[in-house]
Copies of this chain bind each other. A is one copy, B any other.
Amino acid sequence: MILHGYFRSSAAWRVRIALQLKGLTVEHRYQHLRKGEQLSPEYLAINPQGLLPSLILDDGAVLTQSLAICEYLDEQYPEPSLRPSDPVARARVRAFAQVIACDIHPVQNLRVLKALQARGQTQDDANVWARDVIDGGFDALETLVTGQTGPFAFGDTPTLADICLVPQMANARRFGVDLRWPRLSAIEAACLALPAFADTHPDLQPDAE
């Protein structure tokens, strides 16, 4: 399999974590987002959104959207499971992941911040926007894991929830968000004690700058 990513793409990091949790190795290719490489005709032929990540399977089939890719990997390589077997617990893991993947990350990503600046907002304005989006989202996430036990977001093993949280925490730090959510920070620490989360950190990727 071939993963198209970028060291700082938090959506690509999610897939790197899932692959390593499953013990899968893939060939990595990189699209430099700040240089606009994701908008080359070659990459757009793979992923018409011009977004990362994309996973190319051994038969050439292309999968896009990080959560869809992670669920595919979890179905094809079931151990260790990234989704609880209880249906309500599974729905809550997915919802937690989607708070990040739908309502936080896409509203604070580079594409949106660039669009704000193209409309006359300063870099500082754009950073405040990103901080506001993350701050409000994290308040909700902290509530969603209130009462959960175990070191991870939902129990004793990492799920899609943790896979989305850790990269989003790194984004929060990059934008200078005051990380004032004790449960989210404890979950992040538990995750980063695992090689699947620590080794896949953006700073450790071959394309990191």
Interface of A is mostly: helix
User: Which A110-141 residues sit within 8 Å CB-CB of chain B?
Assistant: 112, 115-116, 119-121, 125, 129, 132, 137, 139-140
A57 contacts B by Cβ under 8 Å = yes
A102 touches B143 (CB 8 A): no
Among A19-27, A30-38, A86-94, A184-192, the stretch in contact with B: A86-94
Highest count of chain B CB atoms <10 Å: which of A50, A103, A116, A125: A103
Whether A95 touches B48, Cβ cut-off 8 Å, given contacts A75-B87, A87-B72, A129-B115, is no
A207 contacts B by Cβ under 8 Å = no
Which residues in B have their C-beta under 8 angstroms from that of A51? Answer: 103
Chain A interface residues toward B at CB < 8 A: 48-51, 57, 61, 63-65, 67-69, 71-72, 75-76, 87-88, 90-92, 94-95, 98-99, 101-103, 105-107, 112, 115-116, 119-121, 125, 129, 132, 137, 139-140, 143-144
